[in-house]
Structure 1
Amino acid sequence: MKRRVWTVFPACLILAVLMIPMSAATFMYDKILGVVEMAITAIVVTAVFILALRFRNYIREVAQSAMNDCYSPSHKGLEAMKTPVAVCGTHGELIAYNAQFRKLFLDDYEGVNVHISPFIAELSPEDAVKRGSFDAEYGGKRFTVFGRETEHGMLFEFIDDTYYKNIADQYNDTKTSVALIVFDNIEDFSSDAEQEAAAAHLAAENLLYRWATKRNILLRRFGENRYIAIFEEAVLRQEMEQKFDLLDEIRAITYNGRPATLSIGVGHECTTLTDSASQARKALDMALGRGGDQVAVLTGSDYVFYGGVAKGVEKTSKVRVRAVSQEIAEAIEQAERVLITGHRYSDLDCIGAAAGMYALVTKKYNKDCHIVADINRTMASDMIARLSENRRDMFISPDSSMLLSGQRTLLFIVDTQSPDFIEADRVYKNCGNVIIIDHHRKMVNFIDNASVFLHEPSASSTCELVTEVVQYLADDVLSHTEAEALLAGIMLDTKNFVINTGVRTFEAAAFLRKKGADTVTVRNVFANSLENYRDKSLLVSSAQIVNHCAITVADDTTRNSRVVCAQAADDLLSIQDTYASFVISRIDAHTVNISARSFGKINVQLIMEALGGGGHQTMAAVQLKDVSLQEAKEQLVNVLKDVNILK
C-alpha cells in the first residue's frame, strides 16, 4: 500500500503547485469562488507537506532496513560469510557479492553488467533456484552451488569441493568390471586344412589382443574361443561412447564371404568381481540369444546393447536340439496333461509349431493335450479350420483352458518368449511346468522360469525347431495336414525360402515333404481374396521412403488388416533400394500395430525395440498404446532418422 502512495506523490506535488496561481486568478474574477478554491489549495498543500515528511521517513526506513539485512548480527552480512556468495536480480545481473566471490570469479575486478550464468553452469537463475543445489565448474575448480530466493534477489552460495569430487571421480573411474567374450563363428575359420581360414582365425584373435593391450585391459583365454576381460570403469565408458567399434573391426575379417563376429557380455557396477562375472555371464547369454555380433552391458536389471547388425550365425550342429529333446520327452512323461499356446494374434509359424507339438504329445505319449488359441483373433484361421476337421477339441479358448491348468499341467509356449505377448497369460501363471520353443532373438523381459528353453535365433522359424524335435523323438507321428502346417510356418518366416534360410531349414522341409506335405496345398494357404489383394495394393502404392525404409499406413477401412498389412510389408521389400518395410495399422480403439520386415541389411528388431517391441532381425513388430496412426508414424520416422540404429 505504501508503494502505491509514493507512486502518486509526484503528481500530488505538481497539482499543489499549480493550484496556488489558479486560486489567485479565480479570486480576481469571483471572490467567493476564489476563497473556496484557496481553502482547497491550502488543504492540498498541507496534505502534500505531510506526505513529503512521511516519504522522507520511508526512504530512511528502507535504507536502514537494507543496512540491517546486509550487516545485522543475525544475518552476518555477505562479507561475514566464509564462502563465495553472490546475489543477482531476476534477469541474472549481479547486485551484490562478497570478497571471496570477487576473488574467485571476478579476479578482484568489479565489472559492470556482470551476469551470474557463467558461474552457475549456464543455468538461468530461476532454474538454478528451482534445483536447490547443483554442480558447477569455473576456473579449474569444482563447486556445489546452493541457490535460494530472498526478498532482495536470488542468492547463490558456492562450496569449493574440487578435492572431494576429484577423489570420487578417481574412485569411480578405477572401479572394475568383468566381460566375457566369445567368437560366434570362429569354428568356420579354424580349419587346419585351409591356410587362409587359419590366417583369418589368427587375425581375429590378434586383433582382440591388440584391442586389450591398447585399452589397458587384462585379457585371458579360458576356453576354446572364449575369453575373460577385466577393465576399469573409464575404459568401459570410453568403449560405450565409441559404441564398441571393436565389433566393426572384427567384422571386417572375412573368409569365403562370411565375416567373423564377436559377442561380449559385461557385468557393470557390481560390488564384487564375483558378482560382476555372474552378471557378465547373464549378459553374454543375452547377447548370444539375440543372434550374436553384439555387446550386452548389464547394470542391475537393465541392459544396454551395442552392435547386432550381422545376420545370425547358423548352427549346423544339432547336438543341442537332440539333448533338449530328451528333456522335453521326460517333462511330457511326468505331466498329467499338456497345453500348448503361442503369442496373441497367432500366425502360421505359431499354429504350425503348436500342431507339431500336439501330434507328438497325443500320438507318441498319449497325453491329454489342447492348443490354446483365440480363433477369433488369428492370422491362420484357414489352417486352424483344416487342423480342426477331425479333432474338434484340438483348439480351446484361453478362458476354457483355465479349467485344465494346474501344478501337474505342462505348458508349451511356442514362437514367443515374452510374458507380455502370450495368448494365455493367466494359464502360464497357473501351470506348474513351462517349456519354451522359440527362434526370435532374446528379449530383455523374456520368461526366465522355464524348465526347458529351446531357443535358437539362427533358426528360420519355430516350426523348423519343432520339426527337429519331432524327428528325434518320433518321426512317424505327423499326418500330412500337420506336416503342411509346419511347412507353411517355415515358408512364412523365410518368405518362401528366400531369407534367413540355412541348411537345417531345407533338411526340415525335406522331412516334412517326406511326411506328405503338399507344396501346392501349402501355397494355397497364402492365397489372397480379391478384396485383400486390392487393399494390399493400395497400401503398397501409398508407401513413403525414409532412409531406404518403406512406410505405409492402413486406415480403419482396411479389411483383415493384420493379414493384409503383413503381406503388404513383404511386398514393399521388392521395391528397388528398399532395405526394410513398415506397415502401420490399428488393432483396436487403443492400440496401433507396426509390422516390420527386412532382408537382413537392416535389423528391424533394433528399430522395434526402440519403440518398445521386439522380434527377429528380419521380422519384428510393436504395439503402441493410446496413439493415433499419424503419431505412431512420427515416432517411427524419428527412430529411422537415427543413423546409429540403421547401421
Structure 2
Amino acid sequence: MKNSFKLRKLFIFLLFASLAVIVYCAFNRESCGYFFHAGIFVFGASLTYLLVFFAQNKTIKKLDWMENRLKQWNSISYRVKRAGENSFNEMPLGIIVFNDDKVIEWANNYAKKIFLSPLVDRKIELISQELYANMKRFTEFEITLYGKIFGVSVLTEDNILYFVDHTDIKMLEQKYRARTLALGIINLDNLSPALAVLDAQEKARQMSNIIGLLSHWVEKYDIYLRGYSEEQYLLIMDNRQLHQIIEDKFKILEEIKSYFLKEDLRITASIGIASADIVSQKLFEIAYAQLELALNRGGDQAVVYQDGVISYYGARTTTIENRSPVHVRVKTEQFVDIVNEAARVLIMTHDNSDADAFGSSLAVYKIVLALNKPVKIVFDPEKIDPTIKNVYEEIKTEHVNVLDYFIHPKDAMFWMTGETLLVITDVQYENLLLDEKLYKQAKKLAIIDHHRRNNFAITNYDYLYTQTSASSTVELVVEMLEFVDAEVEISNIEATWMLMGVIVDTNNLMYRVSYRTFNTLAILQKFGAEMPKVQRYLRENLQEYVERVAALNKLEIIDGKYGIAIAGDNIYPRSGIAKIADTIISVNNIKAAFCIGKIDENEIAISARSLDEMNVQVIMEQLGGGGHYNNAAAQFKNTTIELVKEALIEKLKRIDEGGQQTMKIILTKDVKGKGKEGDIIDIPAGHANFLIRSEQAIMATVDNIKQLEKRNAQEKEEQERLLAEMKALKVIIDKTPVTVAVRVGKEGKLFGSVSGKHIIDEYKLQNGISLDKRKMIYDKDIDQLGTFKIPIQLHKEVTAEITLYVVEKK
C-alpha cells in the first residue's frame, strides 16, 4: 500500500517535471535537442499511468463497497432467519399446518402448548371437535381451549390455522360488562286500593313487612334500594348483580305474592330494569318504560332491557283487576278530548277481524258519532272471520243503514288528512293491522286494547288505553259510555253485536270474567242486546262440526295435563281452530289446550286456551305470538305442522305454572303438580278438601300458619347457611380446573375413556375437595381430548361447573 503511494507520487512528480521541460524546450528548441522528445515521452507515460491508476482505484472501491454490502445482507438474512424461527417456535402465535384429510402435518411449539399435545399426525377432529366443526364453516372465529380463549384464522387454500390468545381482552370485556350500570324500579301493584280498607296501624304493619321483604332481597345481592313513594322503589346495581337475580328467577315476585296471598290482600309486584352503557338519566327512562310494559302486560312480572334486548320473567298469575270508575272516567275524558281536537275519525282493527274487533269498533263509532265528528270504520269484507261474514251478509239485507258506517281501506287513504284521528281497537301491533299503510299515514293515533303489550307494540300513540284484566275490548269501550257527556245511541242489534264480542272472547263467560264483565253485559242488555241472537250467530255449520270432531278424535295428551289437537291438512279459519281449543280445555284434568292447523297455504296457527292454572300467553310469546293469560295464539310461516308441534312441546317442558285463589291450605306432604311440604297453596275447594281428608294438607288457619312460619324461619336459617356454603364452594369449583392425562394412540384416539369416578378422584387428588359423583349432571364417559364443562348439583339452587382438561399423557 505504501509502495503504491510512493510510486504514485513519483509519477506525479515526473508528470509535472516533464511538463516543465516541454514548456522550456518549446521556447528554446535549439538548445534542448533530444530533451524535448524525452519530455513528451515521460509526460505521456506518467499521464497514462495515473489515468489507469485512478480508473482501477475507482473499480476497487466499488468492489469493496459491494463486498461490504454483501456481508451486511448475509448478516441481515441470518438474523431474519433466526427471527422467523423464533416467531414459529417462541412467539405467542399458534400455527398448525394440516392436509386435506384434516390430519396435522406440522405445528409450532406454541400450538403444542395450547393443545398440550405433540399434535403432529393427529386428526383435528380428535383433538377438538369444536375446532373441527368451526373451521369447516368459518374463516375467523373464537374458541375456548383448556381455559383460554383464542382467535382462530383459517387459511383454507393453504391448509393453515393461526391461533392468537384473546383471553386477556375477553376478560377485560367481561369485567367491563359486569360493571355496567343497571337501574330498576319495583312497583307494588294495586297497593293503595288494597290497603285503603285497613286501619292506620294495620297499614303500617303491612308496609313494614313488605319493606322487610324487599330489604332482605336486595341485601342478598348487595343491591341499593331507595323508596320514592309507598308504591315504587328504585334499584341501583351493576350487570353482574342483575344476572344473579335473573338466575334466581326474580323470586321476590313470588315472595311478595305469597305473602299478600296469606294476608288475603290482592297485591303483587312488577319490576322494570334497564342495563346499558348510556347516561343514567336515559337509562332510568328506559327502566321506567320497562315497568310500564310490565304493568301493561298485567303486572306480577319483571321486564329487563339489556343492550336493546328485552326479556320477560314471572307472569304466573292472572291479572289483578285494578280499574276503578275514576280510572275509566279519566281515560274517557282523555279520549273525548283527543276526538274533539280531530277534524274527523277513522276506526281500524286487526286483520281477519273477529267479534271483539267488530264490536269494539262499532262501540267507538257510536261514541265519536255522539260527539258530532265525521267518522268511518275501516272495513274489508275479504279480511273478516266467518262469524263476522255472517253478520255482514245480514247487514247487506236487513240492516243496510249500517253499510254507511264502513269505508274500504283504499278509500280511507283518500279520506285521511293531517287532522284525522286514527283509532285502533283490539290490536296494538303494526304487523297485525288491517292496513299498515293507513297506520303509517296517520298523524294522530289512539289505541284501545285488552291484550298484553310487549316490546314490539306500537309506541307512537297520542292516546293509549290498555287493560289486560278486561274480558274484551268491547268491555273497555262500553264502560266508557257512562262518562261521555253526550247521548250515545245504540240499537238493539248493534248492542247484540257488541255482546257477541264479549261472549266470544270469554268463551261463553268461561274465563277472564270479572264483575265488570257482568256490568258490561247489563249495560248492553239495557240497549236491547239479545243472547239468543248471539248464540245463533255463533252456531257452527255441519262441516265445521264434523271437522272439529275429527280433530278432537286425534287429541294427544302430553304429561297428563296438556291437550294438543292437529286440525288436519285442510285450511281452517282462525275461529275454527280456536273453537277446537275451547272444546279441549273443557276436558277434565287439562290445564292447557292447544290446536294446531293451517290457516293459509303457507301459514300455520296455534290457538291456546287455559282456565286458571297456566299462563298460555307466556308460551305463545315465546313462539312469536301473544294474547292473554288464558287465551292466546301464534302464527308461523313456511314450516310444517309437525315442526310447530315439536316447538310447542319443547316450550311446554320449560313453562312455569300458577294458580288462582280458591281455598288456602298448607301441604303436609309433597303433592305432584301442586307443591311441596309446607307450601301454602290456593286450589279449588273440592281438591283442597280431598287433600285434607287424605292427610296431605291442613287448613291454612291463623294458628297453623304461625306454627308453619316458626318452623319455616328455623328451616330458612339453616337453608340460607347451607346455601351460602354451597355458593362459596361453587366459586372455588368454577375457577379450579382439573386435568386428566390419558394415553393417546395413532391419529389422536384415546385408549379407553374418562369416567365420572375418574374425574371426581382426580379432582380430590389435585384440589383436595371431595365431591359426590351422583351429583354430576353428565351421564356419559369422555372419549376425546379437549375442554369439558361438567355440571355438578351442589344444592337445588346452586349448580357448579367442573372445568375438565383432557390432555395427552407425555
TM-score range, shorter-chain basis? 0.7 to 0.9
Which residue of structure 1 aligns with residue 623 of structure 2? 611
1:127-146 superposed Cα distances (whole Å, 9 cap, x missing partner): 299443525354x6x45344
> TM-score when scaled to structure 1?
0.80
| 1:182 maps onto 2:151 in alignment | no
Q: How does 1:266-305 map to 2 (within 5 A)?
A: 266-305=273-312
Matches within 5 A, 1:224-373: 224-253=230-259, 254-255=261-262, 260-362=267-369, 364-373=370-379
- In the alignment, the residues of structure 2 paired with residue 491 and residue 289 of structure 1 have an alpha-carbon distance, to the nearest angstrom, of 23
- In the alignment, which residue of structure 1 is the partner of 2:414? 403
Note if contact 1:565-1:595 (Cα within 8 Å) is conserved in structure 2.
Answer: yes
What's 1:480 paired with? Answer: 492
Q: Are the equivalent residues in 2 in contact too, given 1:78–1:85 (CA < 8 A)?
A: no
TM-superposed deviation, 1:117: 8.1
Distance 1:370 1:126, change over 3 A: closer
- Whether contact under 8 Å (1:120, 1:128) holds in the other structure is no
- For residue 403 of structure 1, report the CA deviation from its aligned partner: 2.5
Q: Give 1:458-477 correspondences, 5 Å limit.
A: 458-473=469-484, 474=486, 476-477=488-489
- Rounded Cα–Cα distance in structure 2 between residues aligned with 1:150 and 1:412: 59
Q: Does 1:173 align with 2:175?
A: no
AA at the equivalent of 1:204: I
CA distance 1:413–1:626, shift in 2 (3 Å): same
* Residue type of the alignment partner of 1:375: P
2:545 counterpart of 1:533: yes
Q: In the alignment, is the contact (CA less than 8 A) between 2:177 and 2:239 conserved in 1?
A: yes
Give the whole-Å Cα distance in 2 for the aligned partners of 1:428 and 1:73.
71
**Whole-angstrom distance in 2 between the partners of 1:155 and 1:391:** 74
Most deviating of 548-557 and 407-416: 548-557
Whole-angstrom distance in 2 between the partners of 1:152 and 1:421: 52
Alignment of 1:540-619 (within 5 A): 540-547=552-559, 548-557=561-570, 561-619=573-631
CA change 1:351–1:146 in 2 (3 A) is closer
How far did residue 411 of structure 1 move? 1.6
The CA deviation at 1:445 is: 1.6
> Alpha-carbon deviation of 1:607?
1.7
Instruction: Find the aligned partners of 1:462 and 1:143 in 2 and give their Cα distance.
Output: 54
In structure 2, relative to structure 1, the CA distance for the partners of 1:543 and 1:307 (3 Å cut) is: same
Q: Which amino acid aligns with 2:348?
A: T
- Per the alignment, do residues 219 and 74 of structure 1 end up closer, same or farther by CA in structure 2, a change over 3 Å counting? closer
Write the letter of the residue equivalent to 2:439: Y
Deviations 1:563-587 (A, max 9, x none): 3222221111111121222222222
Moved more, 259-268 or 382-391: 382-391
Please give the secondary structure, in 1, of the residue aligned with 2:597.
Answer: strand
Give 1:356 deviation, angstroms: 1.0
Secondary structure at the aligned position of 1:576 is classed as coil
- The AA in structure 2 aligned to 1:318 is P
Q: Does 1:83 pair with 2:89?
A: no
Per-residue deviation, 1:338: 1.8
| Aligned residue among 495, 518, 540 for 1:506 | 518
Displacement after TM superposition at 1:260 (Å): 4.0
Describe the SS at the equivalent of 1:76.
helix
In the other structure, the counterpart of 1:35 is none
- Once the two structures are TM-superposed, the CA of residue 346 in structure 1 deviates from its matched residue by 1.0
| Inter-CA distance 444–136: structure 2 relative to 1 (3 Å threshold) | same
Residues 129-138 or 403-412, more deviating? 129-138
Q: Mark the CA change 1:96 to 1:401 in structure 2 (over 3 Å): closer, same or farther.
A: closer
> Could you tell me how far apart the structure 2 residues matched to 1:202 and 1:383 are?
56
Residue 296 of structure 1 and its aligned partner are, at CA, apart by: 0.9
Deviation at 1:151, TM superposition (A): 9.0
* Paired AA for residue 235 in structure 1: Q
Q: CA deviation at 1:123?
A: 2.6
CA distance, structure 2, for counterparts of residue 289 and residue 463 of structure 1: 18
Q: Is the 8 A contact 1:219 1:230 kept in 2?
A: yes
Paired residue for 1:630?
642
CA distance in structure 2 between the partners assigned to 1:270 and 1:446 by the alignment? 24
Aligned counterparts of 2:504 and 2:211: Cα–Cα separation in 1? 38
Amino acid at match of 1:370: K
Equivalent position SS for 2:403: coil
Post-superposition offset of 1:112: 9.3
**Secondary structure at the counterpart of residue 403 of structure 1:** helix
> Do 1:189 and 1:201's aligned partners in 2 also have CA atoms closer than 8 Å?
no
Q: In the alignment, which of 433, 447, 451 is matched to residue 458 of structure 2?
A: 447
Deviation at 1:465, TM superposition (A): 0.6
C-alpha distance in 2, partners of 1:280/1:264? 9
Q: Distance in 2 between matches of 1:369 and 1:626?
A: 39
1:637, distance to aligned residue in structure 2 (A):
2.9
CA distance in 1, matches of 2:576, 2:375: 32
**Equivalent-residue separation in structure 2 for 1:376 and 1:144 (angstroms):** 58
Of the structure 1 ranges 191-200 and 597-606, higher mean CA displacement relative to structure 2 is found in 191-200
Cα deviation code 1:155-204 (max 9, x no counterpart): 44443753x54443333212211001101233465342498887565443
In the alignment, the residues of structure 1 paired with residue 119 and residue 410 of structure 2 have an alpha-carbon distance, to the nearest angstrom, of: 77
Could you report, residue by residue, the CA deviation over 1:344-363 in whole angstroms, capped at 9, with x for unpaired residues?
1111111111111112222x
Q: Pairwise mapping of residues 37-52 of structure 1 onto structure 2 (< 5 A)?
A: none
Alpha-carbon offset, residue 86 of structure 1: 4.9
Secondary structure in 1 aligned to 2:424?
Answer: strand
Which segments of 5 or more consecutive residues in structure 2 lack a partner in the other structure? Answer: 1-76, 660-810
Question: 1:561, 1:585 within 8 Å by CA — same for their partners in 2?
Answer: no
Given the superposition, is the C-alpha separation of residues 265 and 540 from structure 1 closer, same or farther in structure 2, using an over 3 Å criterion?
Answer: same
8 Å contact from structure 2 (residues 112, 119) kept in 1: no
Structure-1 residue corresponding to 2:447: 436
SS in 2 for 1:434: strand
Range with greater deviation from structure 2 (87-96 or 409-418): 87-96
User: 1:581 is paired with a residue of what secondary structure?
Assistant: strand
Check conservation: 2:135, 2:154, Cα contact below 8 A: no
String of CA shifts for 1:58-108, please: whole Å, max 9, x gaps: xxxxxxxxxx9999458435566422535364556584433x6667775xx
Work out whether 1:213 is the aligned partner of 2:222.
no
Give the letter for the 2:92 counterpart: T
Tell me the residue number matched to 1:490: 502
Partner secondary structure for residue 223 of structure 1: coil
Identity %: 30
Q: State which drifts further: 631-640 or 234-243.
A: 631-640
Distance 1:125 1:443, change over 3 A: closer
